[in-house]
Amino acid sequence: MEHLDWISVDDLEVAVRIWHPDAPRTLVAWHGLARHGGDFAELAHRLGPKWRVLAPDTPGRGLSTWSSRPEQDYTYAAYARVARALLDHFALGRVSWLGTSMGGLLGLRLAAEPATADRIERLVLNDIGPELAPDGLAELGDYFSRPHEFSSFRDLEEELRHHYAGFGIEDNDSWRRLALESARRLPDGRWSFHYDPRIVAQFVHDTPRDLWADWAALASPVMVIRGASSPLLAASTLERMAETRPHLVTLEAAGCGHAPYLDRASQVEPIRRFLDAGER
């Protein structure tokens, strides 16, 4: 991260991590359910100085405010308000959007709704689609509905390596950095993760949505990345997505589940080619 900016939405302060702030083109990169914008550091580094990467921390995560109204503020409708505020703050008429998991569903929503569809130039969905495997979704909900507290930092790191094995991270230094950026100390001296445990409110209070209708409404070019062993985005779902969009660009990330961390050339270079196609 080279710069940190803030936007205000209602009474929430939202942190926006920025790489290459003077770059000529902009990519909004939005993280998954219990992560934060710092996950895109390697992606931004590999994309290089041509791309300004804006990576917000969704409210309740990372450096952003924890809400006093989780049932209102930890929902996709609220995240969409934050996204619109981000686009307005940076005066982005049209922009490329990359979203991992939750961030991908948010991008899909914005690109499908008439009020914001024109603002999404190109859309990259990282291990997410309009249909989610029920078992994988249930496992996700169950995991984050339980408190995670650890007596030592090493215990936290061990659990993080286990739960996020699907990221496909290959070296110990990267795991250690991820743990350092994911931890917070509790008042009693123990450790927990950086996010507000109440973010699971979205599983209870969010309004069900026809995601296949959103998929059908897309007008912008789309790329979908799928972890080769993803428990959330089935290969059959990706096939159906491709059938309804003949020009869909796809990438299967070997050695990954949910969700590829986008930290290596084999993942970033295809994204770069897809994004660069928008300049032609």
Give 99-150 pLDDT, tens digit per residue: 999 999 999 999 999 999 999 999 999 999 999 999 999 998 889 989 999 9
Instruction: Give the pLDDT mean for 236-264.
Output: 97
Contact 38, 17 (CB under 8 A): yes
Mean model confidence pLDDT for the chain: 96
Identify the pLDDT of residue 266: 98
Residue 122's DSSP bridge partners are 96
pTM score, whole prediction: 0.97
Instruction: Give the pLDDT mean for 261-279.
Output: 95
Identify the pLDDT of residue 163: 97
What confidence tier does 1 reach under pLDDT thresholds 50, 70, 90? low
Number of residues assigned to the chain: 280
Burial zone of 153 (CB within 10 Å; 0-12 exposed, 13-18 middle, 19+ buried): middle
- Of residues 202 and 114, more confidence is placed in 114
Does the pLDDT at position 280 exceed 60?
no
Residues 145 and 199: their CA atoms lie apart, in Å, by 9
Identify the pLDDT of residue 237: 98
CATH class of the region 3-133+199-279 = alpha beta
Residue 227's DSSP bridge partners are 253
Identify the pLDDT of residue 141: 86
Burial zone of 243 (CB within 10 Å; 0-12 exposed, 13-18 middle, 19+ buried): exposed
